């Protein structure tokens, strides 16, 4: 049996290894052109960026700082398939156009397209060969009335645009590359620190910490915005009284230097860590382009309508709002400081009416005197401020708050933006109350339901961390429990137990490292889904995934080619058998105490076993793996069956009042089940035995929050987390 000698190898920041497809696209791989021997390719070199450099600190100077974040310098260009690049022959009567663009020293490059109108059947890819970062395929489905298109940043200082079109359409005007934007602060966080800036300060709180689970739905309304390829702000998806699912994004007016910049903004949903640790998220849930509907500089608000309704897998939530003149008792902001993953800031009040600066309307802002939790930074501009009822009351303009001195931040007043001006292009009322309902408040709404109601699932808690955890063969390093190894581990699986029959859409892997021999692009893993209780049993799904485009030190979303219908007990993970010699691959994991639940199962020398059975100390393990699944509200009336004697199942979770505990063995008496708060104190609850293995617990009288359900088997403790949220 393999034994674990404990010791953690921390991965600091490996070289950037690429990311999976971003934005709404059709995926796929670029065609290989039939290049002529005489072809040397066509490259365009941007001028030296340093002659245009402007300090980022200068752009946010002043007593009350505007909190947008400039990260790129724009080069105006006019590059088309007619005047640049080189044409090649492709397969199946396709013509292929390629253009390589280089901007020396750029950490990433993004492009703005004009006259964008791809013909039916054509495909557009943008990629960096050295960084193995690919976007696309973009198709005619990405066309919009504005004929503009913006892409997310692509890593590295050299990228290639590849356009594939049926030969009969080769001469059709399809697009113009109008701007090449040079990233000078490393918005993709390839290094451990940005040379001209920083990642979000350590005082910031990750949105998925357990203390804020009550905001799990509302947070899905918040987006990161990359505006015209050069500036980062935050924004919020808002509901309207017609409740017709129009995707309005509210943000700050100062984020859009021009009315037309909404057309060239990329709006990213769910850019966040899966748990309460600052692990970089995956920004691939993106929508490119919107149409500005209303904007007013003096009140600093802007309302744009996305070109595309966010698909169900993006888990979009349309935030509610409060336009009354009453001051909120407390405020909470969700935002993207420094363009980083989603964070939270909270103020218990009192909130006051204030003026921000002389160029803005007097008394048009709400002032947070001091944040009790978190702070805002550059990139937070436009981030929503919610009141104690989770209703929108404004969006951030700026202020003085920084880590170490979190004071004096200002958001515009939603109540003034409502109808301060009668011009419909300078007010919210016309757009957010189209049926003239006249209400002062409107609740937020999740429009998707049934098979289209989607969410994320993982086994992580605040007490978990993310590390590269080695396994040793005797005293010799033998690889990782979550990746490449010499111990005969061929499959790494995470166990999931749910009450619903989920439709799995994909998996996010917390990739710790991928080292590849130069020129070796053959390494793959196979993502798998198994049905099973005590161990993986029936294979439901498998998908081969090239490892080279996966980003190190980040979550990487892998979309399944088709939804996978899983039962209530199933396993998801990956097979390692095609990692090539001299390459290595591993995902992050968290080592747990022996009394906590184990979620890691391994195929070792063709036999399944739990991680607990493979270490003398009987420690447990959980992998940094998250599922995206739909049909999440399809609960059966039948009680799930817990077959493993070492397991318990707690449902429903979250709980509004009463929940059921089912154990894989007999529950001796009521005292065997206890509910503990975060301090480890036992809470008063009412208990009712349902049968020898089931007990109902009533949480009435306890405060909302996170609790732990503990089952004392007499030989050990089995613990599960539960969230108590009274409706």
383-440 pLDDT, tens digit per residue, is 999 999 999 999 999 999 999 999 999 999 999 999 999 999 999 999 999 999 999 9
Sorting pLDDT into bands at 50, 70 and 90, what band is 192?
very low
pLDDT score, position 634: 58
Least confident piece of the model among 117-121, 414-418, 474-478: 474-478
Topology match between the domains 43-183 and 454-630: yes
Query: Which residue, among 225, 230, 335, 186, has the nearest Cα to 272 in the 3D structure?
Result: 335
Residues in CB range of 486: below 8 A, 6 or more apart: 473, 478, 479
What pLDDT score was predicted for residue 20? 40
Q: What is the CATH number of domain 43-183?
A: 2.60.120
For residue 40, what pLDDT is reported?
52
Q: Is the backbone of residue 458 left (phi > 0), alpha (psi -120 to 50) or beta?
A: beta
Give yes or no for residue 120 having a pLDDT over 70. yes
Cα dihedral 51, 52, 58, 59 in deg (nearest 10): -170
What kind of architecture, by CATH, is found in domain 205-442? Answer: Beta Barrel (2.40)
Which fold, 648-724? Immunoglobulin-like (2.60.40)
3-class SS of residue 505: strand
Q: Are 588 and 279 in contact (CB under 8 A)?
A: yes
Closest alpha carbon to 611 in 511, 508, 495: 495
CA angle, residues 497, 541, 217, in degrees to nearest 5: 45
Q: Report CA 446 to chain centroid distance, whole Å.
A: 18
Q: Which residue has the higher pLDDT, 670 or 499?
A: 670
Cβ-proximal residues to 701 (8 Å cutoff; 6+ apart), any chain: 684
**Residue 5: pLDDT band with limits 50, 70, 90:** very low
Distance CA 696, CA 500 (A): 19
Segment of 392-396, 452-456, 669-673 carrying the highest mean pLDDT: 392-396
Distance between CA atoms of residues 381 and 387, nearest Å: 18
Q: Please report, for residues 93, 223, 319, 390, the alpha-carbon distance to residue 432 in angstroms, rounded to integers and kept in the order given.
A: 49, 19, 11, 17
104 pLDDT more than 90: yes
Contact in structure between 479 and 486 (CB atoms under 8 Å): yes
Report how far residue 645's alpha carbon sits from residue 664's, in angstroms, rounded to the nearest whole number: 4
- Residue with the bigger pLDDT between 289 and 635: it is 289
**What local confidence, expressed as pLDDT, does residue 514 receive?**
65
For residues 97-119, give the mean pLDDT: 96
**684-713: average pLDDT:** 90
pLDDT tens digits for range 549-596: 788 889 999 999 999 998 778 999 999 999 887 788 999 999 999 888
Summarize the confidence of residues 295-321 as an average pLDDT. 96
Residue 575: its H or E element: strand 569-578
- Contact between residue 207 and residue 408 where contact means Cβ atoms under 8 Å apart: no
The burial class, CB within 10 Å (0-12 / 13-18 / 19+), for 506 is: buried
CATH classification (class only), 454-630? mainly beta
Q: What is the pLDDT of residues 193-211, one digit of tens each?
A: 344 446 788 899 999 999 9
User: Across residues 120-131, what is the average pLDDT?
Assistant: 89
**Residue 198: what pLDDT?**
61
Q: What is the pLDDT of residues 148-157, one digit of tens each?
A: 999 999 989 9
What pLDDT is attached to residue 29? 81
Instruction: Using pLDDT thresholds of 50, 70 and 90, give the confidence band for residue 620.
Output: very high
| Cα–Cα distance measured from residue 504 to residue 542, given in angstroms and rounded to the nearest whole number | 12
Residue 109 clears pLDDT 80, i.e. is over it:
yes
Degrees to nearest 5, angle at CA 619 with 618 and 620: 120
**Contact by Cβ (8 Å): 220, 334:** no
Task: For 46-65, write each residue's pLDDT tens digit.
Answer: 998 776 655 444 344 346 78
Strand partners, 454: 630
Determine the pLDDT at residue 648.
87
Q: Which residues contact residue 279 at a Cβ distance below 8 angstroms, ignoring those fewer than 6 apart?
A: 273, 341, 466, 510, 553, 554, 555, 588, 624
| In the chain, domain spans | 43-183, 205-442, 454-630, 648-724
Q: Which neighbouring-strand residues pair with 351?
A: 368
């Amino acid at each position: 049996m393999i034994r674990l000698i404990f010791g953690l190898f921390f991965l600091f920041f490996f070289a950037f290894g690429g990311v999976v497809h971003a934005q709404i696209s059709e995926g796929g791989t670029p065609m290989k052109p039939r290049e002529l021997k005489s072809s040397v390719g066509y490259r365009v070199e941007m001028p030296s960026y340093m002659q245009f450099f402007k300090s980022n600190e200068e752009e946010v100077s002043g007593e009350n700082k505007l909190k947008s974040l400039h990260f790129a310098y724009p080069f105006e260009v006019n590059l088309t398939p007619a005047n640049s690049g080189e044409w090649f022959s492709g397969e199946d009567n396709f013509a292929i156009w390629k253009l390589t663009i280089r901007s020396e020293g750029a950490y990433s490059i993004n492009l703005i397209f004009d006259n964008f109108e791809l013909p039916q059947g054509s495909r557009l890819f943008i990629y960096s060969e050295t960084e193995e970062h690919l976007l696309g395929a973009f198709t005619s489905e990405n066309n919009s009335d504005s004929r503009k298109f913006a892409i997310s940043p692509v890593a590295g200082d050299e990228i290639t645009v590849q356009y594939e079109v049926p030969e009969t359409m080769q001469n059709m005007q399809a697009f113009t590359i109008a701007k090449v934007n040079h990233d000078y602060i490393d918005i993709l966080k390839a290094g451990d620190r940005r040379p001209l800036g920083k990642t979000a300060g350590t005082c910031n709180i990750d949105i998925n910490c357990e203390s804020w689970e009550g905001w799990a739905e509302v947070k899905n309304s918040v987006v990161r915005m990359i505006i015209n390829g050069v500036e980062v702000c935050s924004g919020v998806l808002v509901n309207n009284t017609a409740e017709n699912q129009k995707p309005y994004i509210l943000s700050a007016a100062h984020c859009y230097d021009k009315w037309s910049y909404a057309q060239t903004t990329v709006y990213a949903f769910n850019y966040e860590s899966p748990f309460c640790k600052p692990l970089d998220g995956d920004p691939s849930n993106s929508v490119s382009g919107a149409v500005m509907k209303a904007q007013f500089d003096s009140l600093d608000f802007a309302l744009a309508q996305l070109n595309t309704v966010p698909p169900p897998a993006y888990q979009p939530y349309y935030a509610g709002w409060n336009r009354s003149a009453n001051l909120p008792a407390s405020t909470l902001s969700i935002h993207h400081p420094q363009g980083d993953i989603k964070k939270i800031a909270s103020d218990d009040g009192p909130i006051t009416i204030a003026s921000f600066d002389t160029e803005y309307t007097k008394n048009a802002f709400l002032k947070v005197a001091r944040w009790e939790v978190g702070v805002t930074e550059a990139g937070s501009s436009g981030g929503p401020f919610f009141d104690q009822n989770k209703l929108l009351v404004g969006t951030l303009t700026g202020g003085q708050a920084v880590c170490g001195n979190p004071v004096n931040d200002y958001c515009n007043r939603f109540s003034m933006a409502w109808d301060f001006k009668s011009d419909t292009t300078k007010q919210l009322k016309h757009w957010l109350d189209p049926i003239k309902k006249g209400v002062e408040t409107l609740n937020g709404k999740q429009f998707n339901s049934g098979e289209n109601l989607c969410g994320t699932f993982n086994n992580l808690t605040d007490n978990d961390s993310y590390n590269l955890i080695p396994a040793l063969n005797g005293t010799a390093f033998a690889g990782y429990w979550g990746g490449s190894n010499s111990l005969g581990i061929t499959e790494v699986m995470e166990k999931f137990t749910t009450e619903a029959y989920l439709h799995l859409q994909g998996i996010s892997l917390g990739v710790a490292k991928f080292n590849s021999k130069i020129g070796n692009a053959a390494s793959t893993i196979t993502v798998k889904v198994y049905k099973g209780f005590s161990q993986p049993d029936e294979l439901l799904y498998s998908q081969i995934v090239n490892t080279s485009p996966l980003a190190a030190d980040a979550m990487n979303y892998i979309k399944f080619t088709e939804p996978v219908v899983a039962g209530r007990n199933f396993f998801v993970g990956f097979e390692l058998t095609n990692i090539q010699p001299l390459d290595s691959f591993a995902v992050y994991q968290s080592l747990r105490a022996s009394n906590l639940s184990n979620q890691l199962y391994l195929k070792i020398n063709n036999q399944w076993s739990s991680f607990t059975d493979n270490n003398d100390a009987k420690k447990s393990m959980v992998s940094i793996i998250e599922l995206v699944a739909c049909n999440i509200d399809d609960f059966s009336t039948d009680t799930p069956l817990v077959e493993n004697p070492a397991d318990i199942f707690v449902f429903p979770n979250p709980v509004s009042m009463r929940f059921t505990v089912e154990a894989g063995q007999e529950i001796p008496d009521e005292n065997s089940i206890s509910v503990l708060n975060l301090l480890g104190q036992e809470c008063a609850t009412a208990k009712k035995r349902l049968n020898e293995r089931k007990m109902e617990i009533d949480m009435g009288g306890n405060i909302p929050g996170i609790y732990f359900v503990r089952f004392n088997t007499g030989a050990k403790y089995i613990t599960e987390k539960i969230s108590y949220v009274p409706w």
